[in-house]
Amino acid sequence: MQYGYFDDDKREYVITRPDTPLPWINYLGCQAFFGLISNTAGGYSFYRDARLRRLTRYRYNNVPFDVGGRYIYLRDDHTGTYWSPSWQPVCRDLNDYQCRHGMGYTIIGGEYRGIEARTRFFVPLHEDLEVWQLTLTNRRAAPAVLSIFSSVEFCLWDAQDDAANFQRNFSIGEVEVEDRVIYHKTEYRERRNHFAYFACSAPVAGFETQREAFLGPYRGWDRPLAVERGIASNSIAHGWSPVGSHHVRVQLEPGETRQIIFLLGYSENPPQQKFDPPSSQTIFKGSVRPVIAKYLDAGNVERACRALASHWCDLLSTCQVDTPDAHTNRMVNIWNPCQCMATFNVSRSASFYESGIGRGLGFRDSSQDLLGFVQMVPARARERILDLAATQLPTGGAYHQYQPLTKRGNNDIGGNFNDDPLWLIIGTSAYLKETGDWSILDEPVPYDNQPGSEQPLYEHLQRSFRYTLERLGRHGLPLIGRADWNDCLNLNCFSDTPGESFQTTTNKEGKVAESVFIAALFVLAGGELASIAAHRHLDQESATCLAEIERMEQAIRDHGWDGKWFLRAYDDAGRKVGSAECDEGKIFIEPQGFAVMAGVGMEDGTARTALDSVNELLATDHGILLLQPAFSRYYLHLGEISSYPPGYKENAAIFCHNNPWVMIAEARLGRGDRAHDYYLRINPSARQSISDLHRCEPYVYSQMIAGRDAPSFGEAKNSWLTGTAAWNYYAVTQWILGIRPSYDGLEIAPVIPASWSGFRATRKFRGATYHVAVRRTGPGNHVSLVVDGVPVAGNTVPLPSRQGGEVIVEATIE
């Protein structure tokens, strides 16, 4: 069953009933001010850092799931009836309810008793505010007299402290109200230089800023007292819980439409200019007033909306495809890049499954996310790479995460994940291939943000590479450290204390446990580093690199092959993990996909054998399982992986992040049918018709889909913030459709299903626009190219001779 449909022309997903199985959300904002918004207007907003600069409060793990957000109430002042045009929180039956999630905006509304109300929510480019543009229409035959109440609940900035430190927090809330604008200024009197504001374009009949006054005692958001009475008490919050609510009265003639704009924004003042007059405790509003005035104007809001639309149009125009498969087209052209931008913006910090207080930007996660957004925002990708590298440690190791506000690395969610540094090479090489900006390698970048420690980025990559080589185990394979890509395979921690975090608990020194996955990652990343060195004419370094890779490949062949598939690891006692010898967890997906992606086993047939084992043992209708058989009990020596019930998360779910590794591996073997078949199994659009089972949004990937060992086999969880977004985009565009930036030009190497007669694509690359038409004339993958009418040898379109040009590429595959 479906809860909506795709409107591809408008690049929207339209939800047609509000009671979706889970909140189906969207992201607002693309630079510094962000919001999460659900299909019933739930969610919250923050400036840069979801933990440290939270504007509005949100109660996680709530009942019902999604309460609290950007709520507007309408009240019929003749009858006293009130409702929410976003359905929640009042939950009256609306006619024609619709939520349209689009690129950077969401429109929610419906009709109730002849009053139609729709609100468009978006964050204008370059501004630290969100607009709520409410359009009301009276469809009755008689005039309507209505009250409108807006509402937000302010968070006292640090979202973690806000949810815990009540003995202080109940006494610090402060607001100001001036010219219909509610200013939230908790702690502004002392060390904070920032405040929030909530403004309204219409004259107000009153306002509330104290939650208790707005809701009334023993009441929730579903029946606020002020709304029920139709009158606001002009409360001024002093301590307790500051909220913002405007009360606006309107009379609408039959057929009349009225627009009211609300703004929720963030602003900072320099420390020496906080107060006006300087001797007072009143916020200096000189810089924020013009911004408020600008966006309370409907014409400016329309212009901002058009600018946002054209921004997204530009982003998405980087790559547009027209294939015989609608799900491929829709995900590649619209939703997958949209999700990649969300992972770029907030990494894994803020979603309906990531609380915004737990994680900052992950080193490994952000490096991989680059694969999905570098083509859209290369300049920001550059900045991200340098930020990440600046948190690298002098040893070449990495903090597992950094906070976006400070850009400093920390160990809050653990450290010593031995795979981390290698991902920097993967991310940087993607950037170089896309942009050809070799100057980034000469950029001086500090270690651990220490001034004076600067070295060129290239040296950071070298240290990443050596970090692995300096940590090899007895089989010549890389030591795993705390864990590798699979955070939950903790071979050195032996945790027997309930509730202890596997990610932060003390790790054994770990001189034995080795990872075949890191070995494969090393081969892939090392290959890139060798090419980079060769490009810089550092032939000796390139040769050394290749020799180390060759040694690693040999170690994989000697000690990382189990007979029918690649082994996963050796544990702390030197026993095999992911082997036919094991009772459970005999085969893992990661080394199969990654080793083949890295080219290991292509010559001796083991690559093919490994992928056939994946097909036989791990592939299901809902995607490829992470491992089999699932761990049915807790294994002290394996750690968190066996802490999950069978079929969930890393314990044998379909962990969507690594499915594309197998797609790429299949493409490398030339098996286009299989690659695309795997692609469709987890493609959210292709799963739309089973929304009751899938439950998460049908327009974005989720981190996991429950595996066949779970009773809810096929149910997705943890949508939006997952490496799945970048990897699927990369797999389908670069390896299945095969349009692949390389150091020397645009490679065209499609490995598509046999039944496809071809496809078309437009790809912007290095300042030119490539119009690619692929035509299948035979069953294989052999490519012949004609570029601007001239046959070209090989399958790489040479770099464009001029900026802004158009290149016509005709590719024949047979």
| Three-state DSSP class for residue 61 | coil
Choice between 86 and 355, CB closer to ligand GLC: 355
Q: How far is the CB of 517 from ligand GLC (least distance, A)?
A: 10
Q: How far is the CB of 571 from ligand GLC (least distance, A)?
A: 17
Tokens 């149009």 locate to: 313
CA–CA distance, 129 with 29 (Å, rounded to integer): 9
Choice between 364 and 622, CB closer to ligand GLC: 364
Listing DSSP states for 620-655 in one string gives: ETTEE-SEESPP-S--TTTGGGGGSPTTBTTBTSEE
Phi, psi of 35 (to 5 degrees): -140, 150
Q: How far is the CB of 325 from ligand GLC (least distance, A)?
A: 27
Q: How far is the CB of 677 from ligand GLC (least distance, A)?
A: 24
CA–CA distance, 525 with 281 (Å, rounded to integer): 56
Q: How far is the CB of 480 from ligand GLC (least distance, A)?
A: 13
| Three-state DSSP class for residue 89 | coil
Q: How far is the CB of 658 from ligand GLC (least distance, A)?
A: 8
CA–CA distance, 710 with 714 (Å, rounded to integer): 9
Choice between 71 and 423, CB closer to ligand GLC: 423
The helix (H) or strand (E) run that includes residue 146 is: strand 144-157
CA–CA distance, 483 with 488 (Å, rounded to integer): 7
Catalytic residue among 487, 562, 571, 709: 487
Lookup: tokens for 255: 């057929």
Contact 519, 590 (CB under 8 A): no
Choice between 188 and 701, CB closer to ligand GLC: 701
CA–CA distance, 308 with 219 (Å, rounded to integer): 38
442 is known as an active-site residue: no
* Helices 363-373, 420-435: crossing angle, 10 deg rounding: 20
CA–CA distance, 626 with 654 (Å, rounded to integer): 6
CA–CA distance, 556 with 600 (Å, rounded to integer): 8
Bridge-based pairing state of the strands 409-415 and 399-402 = antiparallel
Contact 800, 768 (CB under 8 A): yes
Q: How far is the CB of 468 from ligand GLC (least distance, A)?
A: 17
Contact 110, 87 (CB under 8 A): yes
- In this structure, the number of other CB atoms found within 10 A of the CB of residue 156 comes to 22
Lookup: tokens for 366: 């952000």
Q: Which of 332, 336, 304 is nearest to 105 (CA)?
A: 304
Choice between 356 and 362, CB closer to ligand GLC: 362
| List of residues 6+ apart from 37 with CB closer than 8 A | 25, 26, 27, 28, 43, 69, 70, 106, 121
Contact 224, 114 (CB under 8 A): no
Residues lying near ligand GLC in the complex (CB under 6 A) are found at 348, 362, 364-365, 413, 485-488, 503, 640, 649-650, 657, 703, 722-723
Choice between 488 and 549, CB closer to ligand GLC: 488
Listing DSSP states for 401-460 in one string gives: EE-TTT--EEEEEEE-BTTHHHHHHHHHHHHHHHH--GGGGG-EE-STT-TT--EEHHHH
Choice between 150 and 392, CB closer to ligand GLC: 392
Choice between 75 and 364, CB closer to ligand GLC: 364
Q: How far is the CB of 327 from ligand GLC (least distance, A)?
A: 23
- In this structure, the number of other CB atoms found within 10 A of the CB of residue 718 comes to 19
Give the number of C-alpha atoms closer than 13 A to the C-alpha of residue 439, restricted to the C-beta side: 4
Q: How far is the CB of 277 from ligand GLC (least distance, A)?
A: 48
Dihedral (C-alpha) 650, 651, 652, 658: value to the nearest 10 degrees? Answer: 10
Choice between 397 and 753, CB closer to ligand GLC: 397
Choice between 12 and 640, CB closer to ligand GLC: 640
Which ranges constitute the DSSP H helices of 142-251? Answer: 159-162, 166-169, 211-215, 225-229
Q: How far is the CB of 662 from ligand GLC (least distance, A)?
A: 15
Q: Which of 403, 402, 407, 352 is nearest to 158 (CA)?
A: 403
812, β-bridge pairs: 775, 784
Q: How far is the CB of 25 from ligand GLC (least distance, A)?
A: 18
CA–CA distance, 209 with 151 (Å, rounded to integer): 9
Choice between 654 and 752, CB closer to ligand GLC: 654
| List of residues 6+ apart from 64 with CB closer than 8 A | none
Choice between 208 and 487, CB closer to ligand GLC: 487
Which ranges constitute the DSSP H helices of 83-241? Answer: 159-162, 166-169, 211-215, 225-229
CA–CA distance, 704 with 722 (Å, rounded to integer): 9
Q: How far is the CB of 489 from ligand GLC (least distance, A)?
A: 8
| Three-state DSSP class for residue 560 | coil
Residue nearest to ligand GLC (CB): 487
Choice between 428 and 490, CB closer to ligand GLC: 490
What's the angle, vertex CA 624, arms to CA 621 and CA 630, rounded to 5?
A: 105
Lookup: tokens for 593: 């996909």
Length of the chain (residues): 814
- In this structure, the number of other CB atoms found within 10 A of the CB of residue 122 comes to 25
Q: How far is the CB of 18 from ligand GLC (least distance, A)?
A: 30
Q: Which active-site residues does the annotation give?
A: 487
